[in-house]
């Protein structure tokens, strides 16, 4: 990282296509892939059931009538409360090694 602001890794879980296990696997992969880089892991969702304790749960940002993947656009809303460095990853991302070069 750049040593500046803390990194926030973000995902969005909406609807029933992907269960909590996808979020938990992604969080574990991020923790391994960042190799000690200090970060927080945030999942925006309407259903936090089954998410592990390392996942900070936030409600989906204001609903502008969006559905499906359009909820990702809400991450730019002020009420998403995202500041500093943010790395967004889709739930179907599989991390197989170091992801520090993405920073």
Distance linking the first and last C-alpha atoms of the chain: 6
DSSP 74: G
Residue 79 three-state SS: helix
**pLDDT at position 40:** 96
Confidence (pTM) = 0.85
Domain spans, the chain? 7-102
For residue 30, give the nearest of 55, 5, 53, 47 by alpha carbon.
55
* Furthest-apart CA atoms within the chain: distance in Å: 39
Report residue 15 as tokens: 């609807």
The pLDDT assigned to 1 comes to 45
According to DSSP, residue 36 is labeled T
Q: Tell me: the pLDDT tens digits for 78-97?
A: 667 788 899 999 999 999 99
pLDDT band at 17 (very low <50, low <70, confident <90, very high): very high
């Amino acid at each position: 990282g750049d040593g500046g602001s803390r990194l926030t890794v973000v995902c969005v879980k909406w609807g029933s296509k992907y269960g909590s296990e996808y979020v938990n696997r992604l969080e574990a992969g991020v923790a391994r892939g960042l190799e000690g880089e200090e970060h927080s892991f945030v999942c925006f969702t309407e259903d936090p059931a089954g998410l592990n304790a390392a996942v900070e749960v936030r409600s989906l940002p204001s609903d502008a009538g969006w559905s499906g993947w359009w909820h990702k656009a809400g991450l730019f809303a002020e009420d998403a409360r995202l500041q500093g460095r943010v790395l967004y990853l889709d739930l179907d991302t599989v991390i197989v090694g170091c992801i520090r070069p993405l920073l």
